[in-house]
């Protein structure tokens, strides 16, 4: 392929993706606005009109902010690629590092820092304007900044050694570098799953053992019925950052732990908490987690193999506004370009991921209905939709592209049929 041909292909996919995302957002906003005046019949007895309208307004506001973020991200993408931003950055770093591994590392780090700084204004607005307007923000500017500093430090401690290993493999291990890198990346992902609950997560939140004896007994009874062993039941102080609530389990093997947001425990009844947890345990017992990890590993292998081909093609660089070095490494540049352009080419395939995810959600709901009463999961979901201001009337096509969970009405209908 010629560099001009690849540039044209990239621009065509870029424009199509931007148009498609804009069209989907417009559909979503119009669909929600049309249904804002009344609560869907199946939810009318339980969801007040005011809560329904708040969810509609919140969703519309998030979608509009998402459009702004999309346009900004598109401008940054074109600036880094076709307008020569990455080329200028590479040339600016070259006198400081010289060509080779350290130049490529510095390039990736500098790109990451600049990208993060460019995202900060929207992140701030999302937290302290949008979330604040709808009553969800509980963070202070000090906590927001503290999280930013801690996440940067943790990211550097973990990411820089990994980046050095990957770039070294790309440069030194021959044509099969992508396979060796995949082995390292897969091992790294498993390590993060293992250490995140006990090492990383406590840096940002406080995790306390569940103290409610009756609730603990109920949950332990559920775990015994489904054959799930956990290292402990914990309550996370999610309320110091947000009013949103959730529950999850993390880790694997002996490191598995169940975590409840304190906001969730304050809102749901014990039988509803049990039903929500049964759904989450369903993902584990039905091996959804293993399947998702396997798919992630398979996709990462395929993408690394593709990158293994692209990094040796001059048109891949020149078609995206970069002049590669002829006698030095371009590995860091290849990584950046690949990460930048991959979403442009893969966005139209997003519904395929949603289909699998929704299938898993229906299966986990059915599992919960087998081990608890489905009406309790329904009532818990209704409260969570209301408390999180999740719209009950999403546009179906927009939902197919963006939502990993089925629409509320479809999900509740399935559960109601299961409990009949």
User: Active-site residue numbers?
Assistant: 280, 365
CB 313 within 8 A of CB 6: no
220 is in an annotated binding site: no
User: Measured between alpha carbons, how far is residue 348 from residues 78, 127, 310 in Å?
Assistant: 19, 29, 21
Q: Which long-range contacts (CB under 8 A, 24 or more apart) does 394-397 make?
A: 394/28, 394/31, 394/32, 394/59, 395/24, 395/27, 395/28, 395/30, 395/31, 395/32, 397/24, 397/27
Torsion from C-alpha of 192, 297, 223, 360, nearest 10 degrees: 130
Task: Give the whole-angstrom CA distance, residue 367 versus residue 372.
Answer: 9
Cα separation, 121 vs 328, whole angstroms? 36
Residue 361 labelled as part of a binding site: yes
Q: In this structure, are strands 257-261 and 233-236 parallel, antiparallel, or unpaired?
A: parallel
The answer to whether residues 230 and 223 touch, using CB atoms and an 8 Å cutoff, is yes
Q: Residue 249: beta bridge partners?
A: 258
CA distances from 167 to 108, 162, 192, 328 (A): 10, 9, 20, 13
Measured distance CA(22)–CA(312) in Å, rounded: 34
> Which tokens sit at 180?
């060796």
Tell me which residue of 229, 232, 262, 225 sits closest to 247, measured CA to CA.
262
User: What sign for the dihedral angle of Cα 131, 137, 143, 147?
Assistant: negative
CB distance 262 to 243 below 8 Å: no
283 annotated as ligand-binding: yes
Helices 270-285, 288-310: crossing angle, 10 deg rounding? 50
For residues 115 and 118, give the distance between their C-alpha atoms in angstroms, rounded to a whole number. Answer: 5
Radius of gyration (C-alpha) of the chain in whole angstroms = 24
The answer to whether residues 261 and 247 touch, using CB atoms and an 8 Å cutoff, is: yes
Letter string b/e over residues 14-46, b meaning 16 or more CB atoms within 10 A of that residue's CB:
beebbeebeebbebbbebbeebbeebeebbeee
Binding site members for Zn(2+) = 279, 283, 361
Annotated binding site: 279, 283, 361
């Amino acid at each position: 392929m010629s560099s001009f041909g690849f540039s044209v292909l990239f621009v065509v996919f870029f424009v199509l993706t931007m148009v498609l995302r804009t069209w989907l957002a417009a559909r979503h906003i119009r669909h929600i606005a049309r249904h804002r005046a009344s609560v869907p019949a199946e939810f009318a007895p339980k969801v007040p009109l005011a809560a329904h309208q708040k969810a509609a307004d919140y969703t519309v506001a998030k979608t509009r902010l998402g459009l702004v973020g999309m346009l900004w991200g598109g401008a940054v993408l074109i600036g880094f690629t076709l307008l020569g931003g990455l080329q200028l950055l590479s040339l600016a770093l070259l006198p400081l590092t010289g060509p080779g591994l350290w130049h490529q590392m510095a390039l990736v780090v500098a790109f990451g820092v600049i990208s993060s700084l460019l995202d900060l204004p929207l992140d701030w607005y999302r937290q302290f304007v949008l979330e604040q307007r709808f009553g969800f923000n509980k963070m202070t500017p000090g906590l927001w900044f503290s999280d930013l500093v801690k996440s940067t430090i943790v990211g550097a401690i973990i990411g820089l050694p990994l980046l050095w290993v990957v770039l070294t493999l790309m440069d030194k291990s021959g044509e099969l570098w992508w396979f060796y890198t995949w082995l390292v990346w897969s091992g790294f992902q498993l390590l993060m799953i293992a250490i995140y609950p006990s090492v990383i997560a406590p840096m940002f939140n406080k995790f306390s053992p569940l103290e409610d004896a009756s609730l603990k007994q109920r949950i332990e009874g559920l775990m015994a019925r489904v054959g799930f062993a956990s290292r402990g039941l914990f309550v996370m102080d999610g309320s110091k950052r947000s009013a949103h609530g959730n529950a999850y389990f993390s880790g694997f093997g002996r490191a598995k732990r169940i975590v409840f947001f304190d906001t969730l425990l304050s809102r749901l009844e014990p039988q509803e908490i049990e039903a929500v947890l049964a759904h989450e345990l369903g993902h584990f017992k039905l091996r959804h987690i293993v399947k998702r990890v396997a798919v992630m590993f398979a996709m990462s292998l395929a993408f690394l193999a593709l990158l293994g081909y692209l990094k040796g093609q001059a048109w891949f660089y020149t078609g995206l506004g970069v002049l590669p070095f002829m006698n030095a490494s371009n590995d860091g540049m290849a990584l950046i370009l690949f990460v930048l352009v991959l979403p442009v080419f893969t966005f139209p395939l997003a519904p395929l991921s949603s289909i699998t995810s929704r299938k898993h959600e229906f299966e986990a709901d059915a599992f919960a209905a087998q081990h608890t009463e489905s009406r309790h999961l329904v009532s818990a979901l209704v409260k969570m939709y209301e408390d999180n201001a999740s719209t009950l009337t999403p546009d179906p096509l927009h939902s197919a592209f963006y939502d990993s969970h089925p629409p509320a009405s479809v999900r509740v209908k399935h559960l109601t049929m299961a409990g009949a």
